[in-house]
Structure 1
């Protein structure tokens, strides 16, 4: 495969996006993702990790603790269902689509092209269609091949195979999907995992529908979720938000409370630009996520190059978590943990004026005051309260 840019050189917009790479930069191998390692790496794979994955198909045995009852697991698993159905379609071919492989075409590329005279108008059209299908955010980034996986995985034996993205892709459409704030407030719990699962199921349908729309216009479009490439750099370059200490993208609409999906395409589109507003400066003084992490997987201090395990990308200066500690905690609880999301000061509903006022303060030189005002927020809500609402 060839792409329009050399993946090992700094690119336009890196500074605005807060991206700093070094000469040691390497494209990330999907095989080293901690979730993939849990299937083949004996230093990560345990009975707990096997049970973790199995629990998403059959509810884990209920145990003591609010938020971990059979119905909590049942709701979580039901929320994941559509994503699971799509993911399993070509498992016999070693393609776990949406996670270890891009999503197969369900519609062909139309033989006749719709002429695009104005890429800016087409970008606006794509954003409108994305919103129609249910995406909460949409931005467009350039095709920056540095963030593609160096290879993908054949899930039959977890061997590396070529990352089969077609040549000629020029843009990455990034979609954001808001997670339910009331469920997020109950992390860590199996109930809260329904917020994650619902958005994976939503994004599976939305990203497939938008890609089908583009192919019907006569252009190539590859629907993608966690597969094919790292979505966070694309989301930042598409102007949707800024990178934070908790490893998430902070957006001005929903803070960190959303999932991302993407579409690779050769449809002529105008690209959005990164929009730094001051999240980095706030995270420099805030350690709420790192303080709250039960296994201390999140970093204190300034961003650094690399990380302390093989699941860290090489040659990028950023905040990097200890993926093994993080996933180990997930496995023990049989569900995902997003305490770092729940306690984040930016986890607010910015549709409300009081939270918009706080955001303005947080992104200003008065950020210490904003952090002080946030000191009592982010506590866990009992999952039973959600059921009894």
Structure 2
């Protein structure tokens, strides 16, 4: 569906509410970036957290934290790591603190685009070919761009620029493996995150190369350049939830997002308000399950607990310092809030699609009651045993 309005006009439909206190977010205040410069975040545990991704930390004993668990997790990150590290000597940690460098020049001759709607269909087909699970398109909106990016050599702020002529953002969703997500928190489960990042690194680079070969500008991007959640909401890929994740009707919360900034003429999608917000209003499973109580109870509020919170937006906001502190303690990422989310289901099954219809209806309390016994953790050793079983 064509979105011909200004970027701000569809905010309400996307569930976005800004106030006069809104400020673009400074990338240096992202909790992961702060771990490189902020002494209030840096600890021996954070050092061990980063070292564990190079197998330098002694693996913890116990189910899900053995050497092969860390080995699989770290192997899953390999493609993303190679791409990220290739220009680190220039201060660019690409995909995280800087956009991904283009390996393909823009073709000197543009392919004529008579119909932006048809071109959008083409891009969605190409995104599926390159293994993106979801694709939505929305207008460029500088509000969500970092006010400055970070040079990782000295953690100084540098301009966060994009090429001239960018008009659209292609937002891609990448599914995380459901069986691995079920084992959170564990180093093993981190392989679901790493595999998604490695896949999205390849996907955004290949789609961007395709567009550049058509003669148009395209900048591949992961966590860098701009906040991806507002773009995902505006592109119609899902709704924002209490657990700080985007809930999609296809994969629930099990998604990582990437994006491509482009000048290619494209039709824009519209947000899809389905009823997730109303469900989250009565559901607090993620907040109750969080070991360090980093997730909020109650209604969405403006602001947050620390400088890693976006200012001037009314939304559910986590305490990023508590959250990352727990990650550091684990020496791996935690997504218990994803695992216990009632929307974390296999929607290829008819009974889960039926549950979804109930959850997004006025009968949402019934859906929450039906979910009361779900979300338990699967043993990582059982995952290994199942993978070893002959087919």
TM-score normalised over the length of structure 2: 0.97
Q: Separation in 2 of the partners of 1:372 and 1:152?
A: 45
Q: Retained in 2: the 8 A contact 1:345–1:377?
A: yes
2:135 pairs with 1:138: yes
Q: Separation in 1 of the partners of 2:231 and 2:91?
A: 26
- The structure 2 residue matched to 1:86, chosen from 76, 83, 93, is 83
TM-score normalised over the length of structure 1: 0.97
Q: Separation in 1 of the partners of 2:156 and 2:163?
A: 21
2:193 pairs with 1:196: yes
Partner residue in 2 for 1:215: 212
1:167, distance to aligned residue in structure 2 (A): 2.3
Q: Cα deviations across residues 213-235 of structure 1 (Å, max 9, x unaligned)?
A: 00000000000000000000000
Q: Cα deviations across residues 11-70 of structure 1 (Å, max 9, x unaligned)?
A: 110010010000010000000000000000000011111111111112531223210000
- The structure 1 residue matched to 2:283, chosen from 266, 283, 286, is 286
* Structure 1 gaps, min length 5: none
Q: How do 1:110-189 residues align onto structure 2 when only pairs under 5 Å count?
A: 110-189=107-186
Partner residue in 2 for 1:98: 95
Partner secondary structure for residue 204 of structure 1: helix
Q: Separation in 2 of the partners of 1:18 and 1:41?
A: 32
Partner residue in 2 for 1:17: 14
1:316, distance to aligned residue in structure 2 (A): 0.2
Q: Cα deviations across residues 260-317 of structure 1 (Å, max 9, x unaligned)?
A: 0000001000000001010000000000000000000000000000101000010000
Q: How do 1:1-389 residues align onto structure 2 when only pairs under 5 Å count?
A: 11-58=8-55, 60-389=57-386
Tell me how large the CA RMSD over aligned residues is.
1.0
Q: Separation in 2 of the partners of 1:82 and 1:169?
A: 27
Q: Cα deviations across residues 172-231 of structure 1 (Å, max 9, x unaligned)?
A: 000000000000000000000000000000000000000000000000000000000000
Partner residue in 1 for 2:389: none
1:164, distance to aligned residue in structure 2 (A): 2.2
1:168, distance to aligned residue in structure 2 (A): 1.7
Q: Retained in 2: the 8 A contact 1:60–1:73?
A: no
* Structure 2 gaps, min length 5: 387-391
Partner secondary structure for residue 223 of structure 1: strand
Q: Separation in 2 of the partners of 1:240 and 1:60?
A: 38
Q: Separation in 1 of the partners of 2:60 and 2:303?
A: 38
Q: Separation in 2 of the partners of 1:227 and 1:331?
A: 22
Comparing 53-62 and 311-320, the one that deviates more: 53-62
Instruction: Give the count of matched residue pairs.
Output: 382
Q: Separation in 1 of the partners of 2:229 and 2:373?
A: 29
Comparing 181-190 and 52-61, the one that deviates more: 52-61
Q: Separation in 2 of the partners of 1:100 and 1:73?
A: 24
1:347, distance to aligned residue in structure 2 (A): 0.3
Q: Retained in 2: the 8 A contact 1:59–1:77?
A: no
